[in-house]
Structure 1
Amino acid sequence: MPRPDRAPLRWGIAMLALLAGCAGVDPQLAPARSDAPWRPPAAPPTEGFVLPPQPALAALPPTEDFDAAHVYTLPELVDLAQRHHPATRIAWIEALNAAQAEGVARNSWLPHLSASVLAGYQRRRGESEGRLLDVQSDGSGHAAVGVLSLQWLLFDFGERTALAEGARQGALAAGIGFTAVHQQLIESVCLAYYRLGAARSRIAVAQRALANSRQVLEAARARHAQGVGTVLDVAQARQGEAQAELARVQAQARERDAYHALVAALGISPLSPLQVAEAPAPRLDRSAEAPVERIVAEALARRPDVQAAHAALLASEAASRASEAASKPKVFLAASASRSTGAASVSALPGIGQQGPTLNLAGSGSGAGVFVGVTVPIFDGGLRESSQTQARQRVDAAAARLERAQQQAVQQIVAAQDALRSALASAEAAETLQSTAALMHDAALDAYRHGVGTVTAVALADTQLLEAGQALADARAAAQSAAVTLAFATGALGAAPR
């Protein structure tokens, strides 16, 4: 009896060994020790725990549509941020993806049509044993097969409708989130702009205080030269000048910090030489305050977070309906048409990423069939009941999140309105304080020049004038910021204040 051919078996074992060798781990992709530096494969050596540079990452893209010679106002800064901040592009892409998902859900009503074509060579070798003799067989043949298949879900008790409604609510929530991102961006740019304006006002106040302290020093020197002043007066005046100079330097440092915060809020390159226009003087008017009840009622109807929570509740309710419909029968239509040529026998077509259609073709021939079927889920170990329970619980959680969003909205609105009221009152008081401090400073300096005052009184008046000016700058910026915060809390911050 001849020995069976073991060449295919040896080839199969060799291929398996080769594949197993390819599945190994490259030791260069992981650190050798826990305390040793690591670097990527084929990278130049570096000192210590420092990664080698990647030149492709070193290029910082410039900000498009940016004019370094233009002085930007607040509305222009908001427009610049909306065009260049990465957060707006991310929210936009997420909204587009959600809309695509809603379109995919609506397309589930359409039939699924697929075509498969297979051509190749088939060979079979075998051996059969009998009582008296063994028979060896060897057969081969070429074949080509083409199949067109159709699958169409006709009725599913509303599962697809519920899934499409859930996807639609998800798309609406993404659009609401896109609007929320823009409102948050407008708020952050406005607040950074007002902080920069306050910092610039502090510089102006510090510069005026420095000029006043130098006038006091000149008066002290003049009195000392006339023999009516003392060295202590001159030294105290010099100390006041030094303190004013320190206040000016600190104000300039705060202005640079506020500038960098504004650039970060805009989302542009930090290397861009941005020129910002001076903030206009705020209009402090408390007569236009609306009742908080009316503000809350209007805000709850338009706040993005409340609308997003409501859309999430509707989406969870749709998912619950889809979960209930999934446990009911489904009616479907299936059809196929096939054609084969050659001498091979084919029972199924291999597929890529999906299961191929099942056939029973031998030799040359063709066939077609149309079927209507019903699938009825009978038992799955309680999986459907668990899914329905989870869906109902998600509905309850979404309802609770909506209630929490409404409560937080009311709290933020009430707090923002109180903050605005306090900021307006503080700004009015700061204006009065600044005017009285300026009057006191001028009177003290004039009295000292005429020999009826002291340098201590002048220094105290100078300090009080500086503090009053800084308090006024901060109070005005706080009032403007509080107005923006209230508009944001009510969901009405659709553009930059003008």
Structure 2
Amino acid sequence: MNARRLHIVILSGVAMVTAQTAGAFDVLRAERNISSTAAGAMLPAVDGCPTGAPARPLHLSEAVERALCSNPKTREAWADVKAQAAAVGIARAAYLPTVSANWQGVRENSVVDIRNHPTLGTDYTSTVRSEGVSLNWLLFDFGGREAALRNANALLEAARATQDATLQDEFATVAKDYYAVQTAIGELDAEKDVEHMTRQSMVAAQARTDRGIAPVTDALQAQTQHEQAVFGLTKAESEAQAALGTLASDMNLDPAEPLEVPPVTEDARTDATFSEPVAQLIRDVQIEHPSVRAAQAQYAAALAKVSQTRAQGLPSISLVGKYSSDNQPESMGLGLPTYPATGHEAYIGVQVSIPLFEGFGRHYQIDQARAQAGRQQDAVDDARRKVALDVWTSYQALTGATRNAQNSAQLLDTAQQAWKAARHRYDAGVGNILELMNTQAALANAKQRRIQTLADWDNARVDLAAKLGRLDASDLAHDDNQGSP
């Protein structure tokens, strides 16, 4: 192998190694800030994703980690970020030259028979090789590459913001479903208490009827209320299982996966968690919310697309070069023998490309890009309107849930005292079955309302935090430290 061929082989090897290195080590540094899991920056302390069976009991922090890491929606948003980061790398690569190498080897057999003149014919066989290296480097294109890079960077920012919004939504969804499980378990426990309470009343009423102290209607009414309690208990059991299956599905587990979730504690704190006025919250969210940032980035990308489309219709200047060599045999003329030969070709120069006529297509492409930019600008306004309404609605829901949580505690305490008094009066023979049944029903309703208001407060708090785009790992620590949301 001569020195020239060795040079070509080395260049080919360098090109292959460069391509492999770019894929493995991100030479253009386009993918350096991509998170290692689908949970993104929401849970930066997570080292990988939870695997295996869920812990018993399952805390909210683990449920959220599993959902953010494994849910198809979050993984799809993560894949979009990786794809758009690669698009940024493609846009940056447009500033670099392209170098390509080629090699060809053929076995050639040529036979020429000239009638009545055999001496003029030829018959030869040879192995012909050719190799070459070509260079193309775009030097100037009136800002086309710059606009393409701005477009790619803006779309990457939009993908990251969309991922943040997806994580916020999924965080809120799994938290609400976790609270729904706690509520269902709490209501199941309350229904068990009601069933036990009505069974005791039924036994007491039957005993008084057997002794002739009370009419048979007392026993029948008490039995009816107990049967209603059994009906409610059965319904609560099925609703608890349905809520557990929904939570398991959020974590990308089989709905039949056995889960153990702690119930709601009645002494959970239900104080306000947002001290800013609602007007300030709305102003902040119209700037900071991930969906607004995504819409703004999409608008910036659309503006860059207008510049890119316009530049593609303008001239471009490139540096071009080529070197090639071959061993094609040569002959001095027809009928003369061929002789081994080598040849080479080399050039370097500047190429100017000027689009002269594109059938007016470029004009309409620019108009299309402008219209799409206008549409994205409207999308920004719509995103701001939507997040403002969402924050207002969620803020009012949290305000009402906070007051109702406090009221439900007082209602439960009063209902418990009323039932104890009615039970004591009935056992002493001075009360009647209707009074006892009414206080039992009121107590059962108060217990259910207390559980529901606690769940409503938790849902409203998480919903407002999600609407503000403020959900993060600190919310998990707050909930786990309380023992329940």
Task: Report the AA paired with residue 459 of structure 1.
Answer: M
The corresponding residue for 1:457 is 435
Task: Report the AA paired with residue 341 of structure 1.
Answer: N
Q: Output one character per residue of 1:305-356: Cα deviation in whole Å (capped at 9) or x when no partner.
A: 11111111111111111111112111111111110103389xxxxxxxxxxx
Query: How much does 1:485 deviate?
Result: 0.3
Is it true that 1:83 corresponds to 2:69 in the alignment?
Answer: yes
8 Å Cα contact 1:427/1:475 also seen in 2: yes
**Larger relative helix fraction:** 2
The corresponding residue for 1:42 is none
Is it true that 1:231 corresponds to 2:216 in the alignment?
Answer: yes
Provide the C-alpha distance between the structure 2 equivalents of 1:370 and 1:470, rounded to a whole number of angstroms: 84
Q: Percent identity?
A: 27
The corresponding residue for 1:473 is 451
**Residue of 269, 283, 287 corresponding to 1:283:** 269
Provide the C-alpha distance between the structure 1 equivalents of 2:377 and 2:351, rounded to a whole number of angstroms: 39
8 Å Cα contact 2:391/2:468 also seen in 1: yes
8 Å Cα contact 2:264/2:451 also seen in 1: no
Provide the C-alpha distance between the structure 1 equivalents of 2:426 and 2:264, rounded to a whole number of angstroms: 37
Provide the C-alpha distance between the structure 2 equivalents of 1:373 and 1:457, rounded to a whole number of angstroms: 100
Query: How much does 1:138 deviate?
Result: 6.3
The corresponding residue for 1:440 is 418
Relative to 1, partners in 2 of residues 1:320 and 1:363: Cα closer, same or farther, differing over 3 Å? farther
**Residue of 379, 388, 406 corresponding to 1:401:** 379
Provide the C-alpha distance between the structure 1 equivalents of 2:76 and 2:382, rounded to a whole number of angstroms: 26
Relative to 1, partners in 2 of residues 1:332 and 1:464: Cα closer, same or farther, differing over 3 Å? same
Query: How much does 1:363 deviate?
Result: 5.8
1:259-338 superposed matches below 5 A:
259-280=244-265, 281-286=267-272, 289-338=275-324
The corresponding residue for 1:37 is none
The corresponding residue for 2:25 is none
| 1:229 alignment partner, SS class | coil
Provide the C-alpha distance between the structure 2 equivalents of 1:489 and 1:207, rounded to a whole number of angstroms: 37
Task: Report the AA paired with residue 137 of structure 2.
Answer: W
Greater CA deviation, 272-281 or 113-122? 272-281
Greater CA deviation, 452-461 or 390-399? 452-461
1:187-266 superposed matches below 5 A:
187-266=172-251
Q: Output one character per residue of 1:391-445: Cα deviation in whole Å (capped at 9) or x when no partner.
A: 1111101101111111101011111111111222222332232222222222222
Provide the C-alpha distance between the structure 1 equivalents of 2:398 and 2:355, rounded to a whole number of angstroms: 61
**Aligned pair count?**
418
Relative to 1, partners in 2 of residues 1:225 and 1:112: Cα closer, same or farther, differing over 3 Å? same
Provide the C-alpha distance between the structure 2 equivalents of 1:127 and 1:104, rounded to a whole number of angstroms: 55
1:97-136 superposed matches below 5 A:
97-123=83-109
Task: Report the AA paired with residue 424 of structure 1.
Answer: T
Provide the C-alpha distance between the structure 1 equivalents of 2:199 and 2:393, rounded to a whole number of angstroms: 44
Provide the C-alpha distance between the structure 2 equivalents of 1:68 and 1:369, rounded to a whole number of angstroms: 67
Q: Output one character per residue of 1:2-47: Cα deviation in whole Å (capped at 9) or x when no partner.
A: xxxxxxxxxxxxxxxxxxxxxxxxxxxxxxxxxxxxxxxxxxxxxx
| 2:348 alignment partner, SS class | strand
Which 5+ residue runs of structure 1 have no aligned equivalent? 1-62, 346-361
Task: Report the AA paired with residue 66 of structure 1.
Answer: G
Provide the C-alpha distance between the structure 1 equivalents of 2:174 and 2:196, rounded to a whole number of angstroms: 33
Provide the C-alpha distance between the structure 2 equivalents of 1:317 and 1:330, rounded to a whole number of angstroms: 21
8 Å Cα contact 1:282/1:480 also seen in 2: no
TM-score, normalization by structure 2: 0.80
Relative to 1, partners in 2 of residues 1:116 and 1:407: Cα closer, same or farther, differing over 3 Å? same
Provide the C-alpha distance between the structure 1 equivalents of 2:257 and 2:402, rounded to a whole number of angstroms: 35
Task: Report the AA paired with residue 480 of structure 1.
Answer: D
8 Å Cα contact 1:122/1:344 also seen in 2: no
Relative to 1, partners in 2 of residues 1:110 and 1:315: Cα closer, same or farther, differing over 3 Å? same
Query: How much does 1:123 deviate?
Result: 4.3
Provide the C-alpha distance between the structure 2 equivalents of 1:344 and 1:255, rounded to a whole number of angstroms: 89
The corresponding residue for 2:81 is 95
8 Å Cα contact 1:142/1:343 also seen in 2: no
TM-score, normalization by structure 1: 0.78
The corresponding residue for 1:366 is 344
8 Å Cα contact 1:149/1:337 also seen in 2: yes
| 2:314 alignment partner, SS class | coil
Query: How much does 1:467 deviate?
Result: 1.5
Q: Output one character per residue of 1:65-113: Cα deviation in whole Å (capped at 9) or x when no partner.
A: 3355632221222123233333333322321221111011101011110
Relative to 1, partners in 2 of residues 1:262 and 1:321: Cα closer, same or farther, differing over 3 Å? same
CA RMSD of aligned residues (A): 2.5
8 Å Cα contact 2:199/2:226 also seen in 1: yes
Provide the C-alpha distance between the structure 2 equivalents of 1:248 and 1:344, rounded to a whole number of angstroms: 99
Relative to 1, partners in 2 of residues 1:479 and 1:69: Cα closer, same or farther, differing over 3 Å? closer
The corresponding residue for 2:52 is 66
Is it true that 1:185 corresponds to 2:163 in the alignment?
Answer: no
Query: How much does 1:271 deviate?
Result: 4.8
| 2:131 alignment partner, SS class | strand
8 Å Cα contact 1:143/1:344 also seen in 2: no
Which 5+ residue runs of structure 2 have no aligned equivalent? 1-48, 332-339, 479-485
Is it true that 1:377 corresponds to 2:355 in the alignment?
Answer: yes
Task: Report the AA paired with residue 85 of structure 1.
Answer: N
Relative to 1, partners in 2 of residues 1:245 and 1:380: Cα closer, same or farther, differing over 3 Å? same
Provide the C-alpha distance between the structure 1 equivalents of 2:308 and 2:51, rounded to a whole number of angstroms: 48
